[in-house]
Structure 1
Amino acid sequence: MTTMRAKMQLSSVENFITSERLSLRAVCESGGNPVDWSDEDDNFTRWTPSAELTVTVNNPALLGKFKAGDQFYVDFTPAE
């Protein structure tokens, strides 16, 4: 079974009456020069340099819990 993990950063949160739209992007390099791939963000950038994900959340218990700049691991595991 093939799996993949991406590290993403929440770039924006759009608030609506009963939901929020979360926009995430792949993390960027840490800014170290030269990049030696020892930093976790650098390593994720190396293998997943570009990614975007938009999620709409309707769960009232989660509204207001997400903030721009928060980082998350997103795991891709095949559904059976």
Structure 2
Amino acid sequence: MPEMRAKLQVSFVQEHFSELDGVKTKYSETVVMHAVCRTNGYSDTNGDDEDNTYAKYSPQADFRITVANPALFGQFKTGDKYYADFTRAE
């Protein structure tokens, strides 16, 4: 199977907290992403835009990650774009 690359944009980040004895502690973030496309949609007359290229060939994707590593908290911001590379694992 060939490798595949998707382009994703962060839709939102939800923070998760616990509270013990009045102390609130963040224990994770859920990062939700979707496949990219131009903000005003795909157009055959303007298919040169990279986001449109991804939307044309991978029109729908939803991606959800729960991050529990405190060093990564706050690293994913709404609107940021990322590539996700998929390679078959043995």
TM-score calculated relative to the size of structure 1:
0.90
Instruction: Indicate the larger mover: 24-33 or 49-58.
Output: 24-33
Q: Considering fraction of residues, name the structure with more helix.
A: 2
Structure with the greater alpha carbon radius of gyration: 2
Structure 1 residues 27-75: Cα deviation after superposition (integer angstroms, max 9, x where no partner): 0125375543211001001000000010000111100111100000011
Q: Which residue number corresponds to residue 7 of structure 1?
A: 7
Q: Which residue number corresponds to residue 44 of structure 1?
A: 54
Paired residues for 1:1-80 under 5 Å: 1-16=1-16, 17-31=26-40, 34-80=44-90
Aligned pair count reads: 80
Q: Considering fraction of residues, name the structure with more strand.
A: 2
Q: What is the root-mean-square deviation in Å for CA atoms of aligned residues?
A: 1.6
| Identity %, equivalent residues | 44
Structure 1 residues 7-40: Cα deviation after superposition (integer angstroms, max 9, x where no partner): 0000000001211000000001253755432110
Q: Which amino acid aligns with 1:45?
A: A
Decide whether the 8 Å contact of 1:30 with 1:39 is kept in 2.
no
TM-score calculated relative to the size of structure 2:
0.80
User: Runs (4+) of structure 1 moved beyond 3 Å?
Assistant: 30-35
Instruction: Indicate the larger mover: 33-42 or 8-17.
Output: 33-42
Instruction: Indicate the larger mover: 7-16 or 30-39.
Output: 30-39
